[in-house]
């Protein structure tokens, strides 16, 4: 279908207007929402993510693609209300207390959402109490923690300890990321995984759901 090919291209190019219009056209043509997501939207995001990893695309292109994808996804949400089978899992994501950076975190959230996850984005400067409350309220499968400062990254450990004290550590997988974070730090604080970019975060999240 030409309109769905235009959706794929619009997301790759970060064209929000065309992405939204193409999605509306697909809906009017009675194309299944899951077909639109799986065969066009997610594939476009996978391609732009791969280009980013290969150094052929950069953060602005990723952000534009994520914005286009999110705009298209908004058109489908009313059709998917209550359709739990369309979701891979539920993710709670936020930047930890004391840290106000959110560009990378928002990109990860958008890509996770575009690839089939239900995402609860809590924002920035989030305490362990708020993370725990959201995990319980949304029955989350994965907790994604972000930090861009060396002065705030250690708070990730406090959150994991709080999960243990609350008795829910085994119920949720913990992913961490951010500029000062690495896999050694993830192992040190007993997180379940670390990703260096948004594309890798999606792969990691899918693997954690399957484990």
Res 4: pLDDT: 86
Whether the per-residue pLDDT at 34 is higher than 90: the answer is no
User: 3-class secondary structure for the chain?
Assistant: CHHHHHHHHHHHHCCHHHHHHHHHHHHHCCCCHHHHHHHHHHHHHHHHHHHHHCCCCCHHHHHHHHHHHHHHHHHHHHHHCCCHHHCCCEEEEEEECCCCCCHHHHHHHHHHHHCCCEEEECCCCECHHHHHHHHHHHCCCEEEEECCCHHHHCHHHHHHHHHHHHCCHHHCEEEEECCCCCHHHHHHCCCCEECCCHHHHHHHHHHHHHC
Contact 168, 143 (CB under 8 A): no
62 and 145 co-located in one domain: no
pLDDT at 39 > cutoff 60: yes
Q: Is the pLDDT of residue 37 over 70?
A: yes
83, 107, 133 - which closes a domain: 83
What's 11's domain CATH number?
Answer: 1.10.1240.10
My answer on whether 74 and 93 are in the same domain is no
Same domain, 75 and 132: no
11 within 8 A of 48, measured Cβ to Cβ: yes
Domain boundary among 29, 50, 83: 83
Please, which pLDDT band fits residue 192 given cuts at 50, 70 and 90? Answer: very high
Determine the pLDDT at residue 60.
87
Mean pLDDT of 42-59: 85
For the segment 97-113, what is each residue's pLDDT rounded down to a tens digit?
999 988 788 888 877 88
Asked whether residue 114 falls in the same domain as residue 203, the answer is yes
Beginning with the edge strand found earlier in the chain, give each strand of the sheet holding 90-95 in spatial order. 118-121, 90-95, 142-146, 173-177, 193-194
What does the pLDDT average to over 173-187?
96
The answer to whether residues 75 and 119 belong to one domain is no
Q: Are 87 and 117 in contact (CB under 8 A)?
A: yes
CATH of the domain at 98: 3.40.50.280
- Say yes or no: 26 and 95 in one domain: no
Find the domain containing 97 and state its range. Answer: 87-210
Q: Is the same domain home to 79 and 150? A: no
Q: Is the pLDDT of residue 85 over 70?
A: no
**Stretch 119-135: mean pLDDT, rounded?**
97
Task: Give yes or no for residue 161 having a pLDDT over 90.
Answer: yes
What integer pLDDT is reported at residue 82 of this predicted model? 55
pLDDT of residue 116: 77
Assess whether 98 and 170 both reside in one domain. yes
61 with 145, same domain: the answer is no
If asked whether residues 141 and 113 sit together in one domain, one would say yes
Last residue of a domain, one of 83, 107, 137: 83
Report whether pLDDT(169) > 60. Answer: yes
Judgement on whether residues 100 and 192 belong to the same structural domain of the protein: yes
56 and 136 in a single domain? The answer is no
Structural domains of the chain, count: 2
């Amino acid at each position: 279908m030409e309109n769905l090919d235009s959706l794929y291209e619009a997301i790759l190019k970060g064209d929000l207007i065309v992405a939204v219009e193409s999605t509306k056209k697909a809906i009017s043509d009675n194309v299944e929402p899951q077909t639109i997501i799986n065969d066009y939207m997610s594939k476009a995001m996978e391609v732009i993510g791969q280009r980013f990893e290969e150094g052929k695309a950069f953060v602005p292109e990723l952000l534009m693609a994520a914005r286009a994808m999110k705009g298209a996804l908004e058109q489908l949400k009313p059709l998917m209300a209550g359709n739990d089978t369309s979701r891979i899992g539920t993710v709670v994501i936020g930047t930890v207390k004391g840290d106000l950076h959110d560009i990378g975190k928002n990109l990860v959230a958008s890509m996770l959402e575009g690839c089939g996850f239900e995402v609860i984005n809590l924002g920035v400067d989030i305490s362990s109490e708020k993370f725990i409350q959201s995990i319980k309220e949304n029955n989350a499968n994965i907790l994604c923690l972000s930090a861009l400062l060396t002065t705030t990254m250690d708070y990730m450990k406090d959150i994991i300890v709080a999960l243990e004290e609350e008795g829910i550590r085994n119920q949720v997988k913990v992913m961490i990321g951010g500029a000062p974070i690495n896999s050694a730090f993830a192992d040190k604080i007993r997180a379940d995984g670390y990703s260096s970019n948004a594309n890798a975060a999606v792969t990691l999240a899918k693997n954690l759901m399957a484990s």
